[in-house]
Amino acid sequence: MHMKNFMLAALLLLLASQAHAQFGIKGGINEAVLSGRVGEDATYKTYFHAGIFYQAKLIGPLSIQPEVLYSLQGSQLKGLTTATNYTTQLNYISVPLLLKATFGPLYVEGGPQFSYLVAANEDGTIQVRNASGQPLFVSASQTSTDNYKRSDFALCAGLGLKLGPVVRVGGRFVAGLNDINNTQYLVGVNDPQLHNRVFQFYAAFQLPKL
C-alpha cells in the first residue's frame, strides 16, 4: 500500500508540473556485476542501456524524472575451484523514478528503480547435473531466464553535467536490493543472495520545454 501511495503522489506531481516538462532520450554503457556468488569469481562486464525520460520541475532546483530504459546487465563468471567460465547476460526493462537537484550546469539525482527481466542467457563453460545428480561441466550457449527472478528493486544515485541547452552527460550507480537468484540446487555455486550492481555512464538529449 505504501508503494501505491508513493506512485500516486509521483503521478500527481508530474501532472501538476506539465508546464515545465521536458522529454528526452538517453543511452550509454553499463559496467555490471552480480554480487553474492559463492564458488565463483564475478568480474565486471560491459553492456549498454538506452531509453527515454521525462523531467518535470517541482520547486526551486528540484525536479522529478521518471525513465524507461532497456538495460543489459550481468557478469563474467569464473569458478574458483571448478572449470566454470561463462558470461551471463540479463535483459531488463527498467523504470527509475528519480528526484533531481540542479545547481547551474551540475545536477545530482537519486531514487528507486523497478526492473522486469525480459530474458537471460549464459554463454561459456557452465555446470549442470546429470540424471543421477552428479555435476558436469559443458560448453553451452543457452537461455537461462528461469534461473533468475523476474523482478528487481534497486536504488540509484548519480550526478551529471549540462553541456548547453540540449546535451547532458552523467554517471549513476544502481544497487539492487532484492535477491534475484532463482536457482537453489547448485550448492556452492549459486548463492541464495544474488544482487545486481551497475555503474552507468550516459549521454542524454533533452527536448525544449513544453
Average pLDDT along the chain? 84
What local confidence, expressed as pLDDT, does residue 47 receive? Answer: 97
Q: How far apart are the first and last CA of the chain?
A: 33
pLDDT band at 1 (very low <50, low <70, confident <90, very high): very low
Chain length of the chain: 210
Q: Kindly report the CATH number assigned to the domain that includes residue 140.
A: 2.40.160.20
Would the CA dihedral through 181, 155, 1, 95 be positive or negative? negative
pLDDT tens, position by position, 84-126: 788 899 999 999 999 999 999 999 999 999 999 999 998 988 7
pLDDT tens across 62-71, in order?
Answer: 999 999 999 9
Instruction: Enter the C-alpha cell of residue 187.
Output: 550448492
Cell 545428480, located at residue: 133
Q: Collect all residues with Cβ–Cβ distance below 8 Å to 76 and sequence separation of at least 6.
A: 42, 43, 44, 45, 86, 87
- Tell me how many domains the chain contains: 1
The pTM of this model reads 0.82
Q: Assign residue 155 a region: left if phi > 0, alpha if psi is -120 to 50, beta otherwise?
A: beta
What residues make up the domain containing 78? 2-206
